[in-house]
């Protein structure tokens, strides 16, 4: 960063001084201003340095300029040089630096003694963590220890975790909270294209004529991208935004058409759209013949509600004719009955996708991903784009959004999931060999068998199969579905829980050791956003108290366990050294990443980074240096084809019934991010949304006799919760549906949710379970 800052700053200085000089010179021609007088020039904001960083919050990855004055972050502005947000932020971004300064920051380690967390020195705490980890491995084997990380980990954090667990210790007990938000996106990409992450980028927004948002309230969850869409609609004629969702939100209000569907039936509607496209011959025949194949997988695949649930799909070939026959169950008329979407609206959606003169961008995030058929949902959206050939070109873009700043960069690209490695998967011999070579470990160290995905990892903790877990930068005691089981499990005798975080949370409440973490710009790091963009930030501030970065905490523990030779770096240079090592995993034109020096300089770089250039669109020879042939090349699959999957509608594991007649849908609000452990420490954000609430449809509310602010009691088969009702406020659920934000640790809605998951992605469905609603 240094050279860039200096250049930039000195340039600004020169410009300012120049303009002052020029102004003065015109007033008093011929007079040269001495230095003394210039020193008196007005100073504007005062002695402040503006440094670039990606935002700490969501997966959009806005470029921020952080104002640093006297060693403290005092202000934020949007970075006009960032192509992501072009200078605009959302309220969380503008106030993000306030999240560093909550009065209750964890500044020293805590160790539980006689049931109470007591202050300890960093040395003592790290010694204890290392010895516990070592002892547990010695007594109970490698697979009894686990690390549970985060899509808010920087890339170096995730890399250290992967190397330590998979390479050095030799267990695949490494997961991250991105399992709860992005794994259906990953398995969707892998099954359809054989490579993870979007083929397109945010620039698609500047080219698309139609935006279809699938179960996605972008006005609140990805506001900067939504503003880019609104901006395009103002600038260009005929741009349409279609909101396809289960409740009416701000995004619906802003869209040109809001289409509501019954929970889970998005699968059927997507198939109906495909049905209409084929029936009307709107499909792109040439594209299909050259670049796609049809596949079917297993059906009735289950919901993972029982411990040790296993599932493996078996792809089988299909013909176009067979695919058409499969879609016969999904005529608009049949699907309309199931989904509540009118035949006219289904045909309308199909016509937008089918119109050869329209460029269509589909956007989605938690709606299709947190879905017991999440992988299928991702597949069927790709099906629509593949049938019409609307993919991998500017404005034609199925775009899977992410929710965390580095869900892509860290969890998906470094591969901090049980089955993954920084390159490839553990069950692939070639990938294991590559990792072992770069890490300098015997290849036998890396286990070829995945162990626990997140839900199963916490089940294993409950059962006692996992006895030591180190949780970093995430708050599972708020976010796990069916929370009580996992909280009780974590508190059981014989479990050792280490938590690295920046504030006290319900997760630190169950910890045996709490380690204070250096947050965001208190250390150097990189995040990777939704559009394959890697962004570097320098250390701008001193960490508070004894806080250390997650990566450095793990390195310290690894050294204490005798693994110093694998982590030979210094605290000053480890980020650069890690990057140099990590770089080797992705070399090549399919996933090449930018060198450290380039990252420091640029506002962000999109991989594949080949010959000094970012790649904006993948799988098309015009834009992607890895693509061969004369047009599209889906090189992720061995056959060079994109796979169109026949995925049927299957009912959810739990639906409203007589006893529990409401759907419960959970999610976020604009002001709070995830569990609110950061945003609630920001006065502006807390004061805007001080607590959680239960949104009800007005007819349900009047039947129950409740108005906004009255207490209602929600009860599911797992638990119950009393919270204030919200009627006709921000969101409008359909009758028979209740929506509750999950950020409030005082009102834990996940006591009620169900731990069912997609059998392919193992991502839980937080959007659908059955509850009873009563006036409390």
Partner 1 sequence: MTNKKSSYFIIIICGVLLSSAVFIFFAALQESKRPAETLQQPGSETMALPTEAGVFRRWAMALKYKDMPEGGSRNLATYYANRAYHGAPPLIPHPLVSEQGIGGRTCLQCHENGGYTEQFSAFAPVTPHPEWLNCRQCHVPKKTEGLFAGSNFEKLQAPPLGQAAMPGSPPVIPHGLQNRENCLSCHAGPAAPIAIKTTHPERVNCRQCHVPAQQEAEVFERPGGELGSNW
- The DSSP symbol for 542 reads P
Q: What CA–CA distance (Å, rounded) separates 465 from 222?
A: 39
- The DSSP symbol for 162 reads H
CB of 79 within 8 A of CB of 87?
Answer: yes
Q: How far is the CB of 294 from partner 1 (least distance, A)?
A: 40
Window 242 to 281, contacts with partner 1 (CB under 8 A): 248-250, 253-254
Q: Which stretch binds partner 1 (CB under 8 A): 194-202, 423-431, 553-561, 730-738?
A: 730-738
* Contact status: 48 vs partner 1 (CB under 8 A): yes
Using CB under 8 A, which of 39, 139, 237, 310 touches partner 1? Answer: 39
Q: How far is the CB of 635 from partner 1 (least distance, A)?
A: 27
Q: How far is the CB of 8 from partner 1 (least distance, A)?
A: 5
CB of 470 within 8 A of CB of 126?
Answer: no
231 Cβ contact list (under 8 Å, min separation 6): none
Site string for partner 1, 668-687 (x = CB under 8 A): --xx----x---xxxxxxxx
CB of 425 within 8 A of CB of 434?
Answer: no
Q: How far is the CB of 400 from partner 1 (least distance, A)?
A: 22
581-590 b/e (C-beta count within 10 Å ≥ 16 → b): bbeebbeeeb
Using CB under 8 A, which of 26, 35, 114, 312 touches partner 1? Answer: 35
Window 478 to 507, contacts with partner 1 (CB under 8 A): 503
* Contact status: 11 vs partner 1 (CB under 8 A): yes
* Contact status: 61 vs partner 1 (CB under 8 A): no
Using CB under 8 A, which of 19, 280, 319, 573 touches partner 1? Answer: 19
Window 190 to 219, contacts with partner 1 (CB under 8 A): 219
Does residue 296 sit in helix, strand or coil? strand
Question: Closer to partner 1 at the Cβ: 91 or 240?
Answer: 91
Q: Which stretch binds partner 1 (CB under 8 A): 229-237, 282-290, 307-315, 620-628?
A: 229-237
Pairing between β-strand 468-472 and β-strand 145-149 as defined by DSSP bridges: parallel
Window 88 to 117, contacts with partner 1 (CB under 8 A): 88-91, 94-95, 97-98, 100-105
Q: Rounded to a whole number, what is the distance in angstroms from the first to the last CA of the chain? A: 56
DSSP class per residue in 225-288: HHHHHHHHHHHSTT-EEEEEESEE-HHHHHSSEEEE--TTTHHHHHHHHHHHHHHTT-S-HHHH
* Contact status: 235 vs partner 1 (CB under 8 A): yes
Q: Which residues are known to be catalytic?
A: 92, 181-182, 366, 403-404
- The DSSP symbol for 617 reads S
Window 731 to 750, contacts with partner 1 (CB under 8 A): 731-732
* Contact status: 223 vs partner 1 (CB under 8 A): yes
* Contact status: 542 vs partner 1 (CB under 8 A): no
* Contact status: 18 vs partner 1 (CB under 8 A): yes
Does residue 646 sit in helix, strand or coil? strand
| Lateral strand order in the sheet of 496-501 | 116-119, 110-113, 513-516, 496-501, 468-472, 145-149, 174-176
Using CB under 8 A, which of 186, 224, 519, 696 touches partner 1? Answer: 224
Pairing between β-strand 496-501 and β-strand 257-260 as defined by DSSP bridges: unpaired
Window 62 to 81, contacts with partner 1 (CB under 8 A): 67, 69, 72, 74-78, 80-81
Compute how many residues bind partner 1; rule: CB under 8 A: 98
Question: Closer to partner 1 at the Cβ: 151 or 504?
Answer: 504
Backbone phi and psi for residue 530, each to the nearest 5 degrees, phi listed first: -65, -25
Question: Closer to partner 1 at the Cβ: 87 or 562?
Answer: 87
Q: Residue 370: how many CA atoms within 13 Å on its side-chain side? A: 27
Question: Closer to partner 1 at the Cβ: 3 or 573?
Answer: 3
Q: What CA–CA distance (Å, rounded) separates 393 from 771?
A: 44
Question: Residue 437, exposed/middle/buried by CB under 10 A (0-12, 13-18, 19+)?
Answer: exposed
Q: How far is the CB of 380 from partner 1 (least distance, A)?
A: 29
Q: Which stretch binds partner 1 (CB under 8 A): 184-192, 382-390, 392-400, 722-730?
A: 722-730
Window 573 to 612, contacts with partner 1 (CB under 8 A): 601-604
* Contact status: 142 vs partner 1 (CB under 8 A): no
Using CB under 8 A, which of 25, 31, 49, 651 touches partner 1? Answer: 49
* Contact status: 707 vs partner 1 (CB under 8 A): no
Does residue 678 sit in helix, strand or coil? coil
Using CB under 8 A, which of 561, 688, 704, 776 touches partner 1? Answer: 688
* Contact status: 403 vs partner 1 (CB under 8 A): no
* Contact status: 16 vs partner 1 (CB under 8 A): yes
346: enclosing H helix or E strand:
helix 343-354
* Contact status: 30 vs partner 1 (CB under 8 A): no
| Lateral strand order in the sheet of 210-214 | 257-260, 240-245, 210-214, 360-364, 397-400
């Amino acid at each position: 960063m240094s050279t860039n800052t200096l250049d930039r700053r000195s340039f600004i200085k020169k410009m300012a001084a120049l303009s002052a000089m020029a102004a003065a010179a015109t007033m008093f021609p011929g007079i040269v201003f001495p230095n003394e007088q210039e020193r008196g020039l007005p100073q504007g904001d005062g002695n402040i340095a503006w440094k670039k960083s990606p935002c700490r919050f969501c997966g959009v990855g806005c470029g921020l300029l952080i104002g640093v004055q006297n060693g403290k972050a005092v202000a934020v502005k949007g970075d006009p040089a960032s192509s992501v947000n072009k200078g605009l932020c959302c309220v969380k971004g503008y106030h993000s630096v306030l999240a560093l300064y909550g009065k209750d920051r964890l500044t020293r380690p805590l160790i539980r003694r006689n049931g109470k967390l007591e202050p300890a020195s960093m040395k003592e705490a790290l010694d204890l963590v290392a010895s516990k980890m070592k002892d547990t491995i010695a007594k109970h084997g490698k697979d009894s220890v686990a690390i549970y990380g985060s899509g808010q980990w920087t890339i170096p954090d995730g890399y250290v975790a992967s190397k330590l667990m998979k390479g050095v210790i030799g267990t695949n007990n490494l997961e991250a909270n991105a399992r709860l938000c992005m794994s259906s996106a990953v398995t969707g990409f892998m099954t359809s294209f054989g490579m993870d992450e979007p083929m397109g980028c945010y620039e698609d927004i500047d080219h698309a004529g139609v935006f279809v948002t699938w179960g996605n309230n972008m006005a609140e969850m990805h506001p900067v991208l939504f503003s880019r869409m609104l901006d395009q609609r103002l600038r260009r004629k005929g741009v349409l935004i279609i909101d396809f969702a289960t409740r009416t939100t701000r995004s619906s209000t802003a869209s040109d058409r809001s289409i509501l569907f019954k929970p889970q039936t998005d699968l059927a509607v997507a198939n109906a759209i495909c049905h209409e496209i084929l029936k009307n011959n709107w499909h792109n025949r040439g594209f299909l013949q050259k670049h796609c194949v049809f596949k079917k997988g297993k059906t009735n695949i289950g919901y993972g509600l029982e411990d040790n649930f296993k599932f493996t799909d078996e792809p089988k070939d299909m013909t176009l004719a067979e695919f058409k026959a499969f879609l016969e169950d999904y005529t608009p008329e049949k699907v309309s009955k199931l989904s509540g979407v009118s035949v006219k609206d289904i045909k309308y959606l199909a016509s937008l996708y089918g119109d050869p003169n329209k460029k269509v961008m589909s956007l989605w995030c938690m709606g299709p991903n947190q879905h017991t058929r999440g992988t299928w949902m991702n597949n069927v959206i790709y099906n629509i784009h593949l049938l019409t050939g609307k993919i991998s070109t500017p404005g034609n873009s199925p775009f899977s959004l992410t929710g965390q700043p580095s869900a892509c960069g860290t969890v998906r690209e470094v591969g901090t999931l049980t089955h993954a490695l920084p390159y490839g998967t553990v069950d692939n011999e070639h990938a294991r060999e590559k990792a072992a070579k770069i890490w300098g470990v015997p290849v036998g160290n890396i286990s070829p068998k995945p162990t626990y995905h997140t839900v199963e990892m916490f089940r294993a903790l409950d059962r006692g199969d996992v006895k030591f877990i180190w949780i970093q930068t995430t708050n599972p005691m708020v976010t796990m579905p069916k929370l009580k089981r996992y909280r009780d499990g974590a508190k059981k005798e014989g479990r050792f829980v280490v938590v690295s975080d920046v504030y006290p949370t319900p997760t630190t409440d169950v910890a045996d050791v709490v380690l204070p973490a250096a947050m965001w710009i208190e250390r150097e790091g990189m995040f990777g956003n939704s559009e394959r963009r890697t962004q570097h930030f320098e250390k701008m501030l001193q960490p508070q108290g004894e806080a250390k970065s997650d990566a450095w905490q793990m390195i310290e523990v690894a050294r204490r366990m005798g693994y110093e030779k694998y982590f030979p770096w210094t605290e000053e240079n480890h980020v650069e050294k890690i990057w140099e090592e990590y770089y080797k995993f992705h070399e090549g034109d399919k996933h090449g990443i930018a060198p450290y020096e380039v990252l420091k300089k640029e506002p962000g770089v999109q991989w594949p980074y080949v010959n000094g250039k970012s790649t904006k669109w993948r799988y098309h020879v015009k834009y992607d240096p890895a693509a061969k042939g004369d047009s599209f090349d889906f090189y992720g699959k061995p056959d060079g084809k994109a796979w169109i999957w026949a995925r049927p509608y299957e009912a959810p594991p739990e639906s409203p019934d007589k006893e529990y007649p409401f759907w419960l849908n959970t999610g976020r609000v604009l002001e709070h991010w995830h569990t609110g452990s950061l945003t609630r420490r920001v006065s502006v954000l807390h004061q805007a949304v001080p607590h959680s609430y239960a949104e009800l449809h007005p007819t349900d509310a009047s039947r129950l006799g409740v108005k906004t602010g009255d207490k209602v009691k929600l009860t599911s088969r797992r638990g119950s919760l009393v919270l204030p009702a919200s009627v006709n406020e921000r969101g409008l659920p359909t009758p028979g549906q209740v929506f509750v934000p999950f950020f409030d640790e005082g009102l834990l809605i996940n006591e009620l949710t169900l731990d069912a998951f997609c059998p392919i992605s193992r991502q839980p469905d937080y959007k659908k379970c059955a509850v009873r609603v009563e006036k409390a």
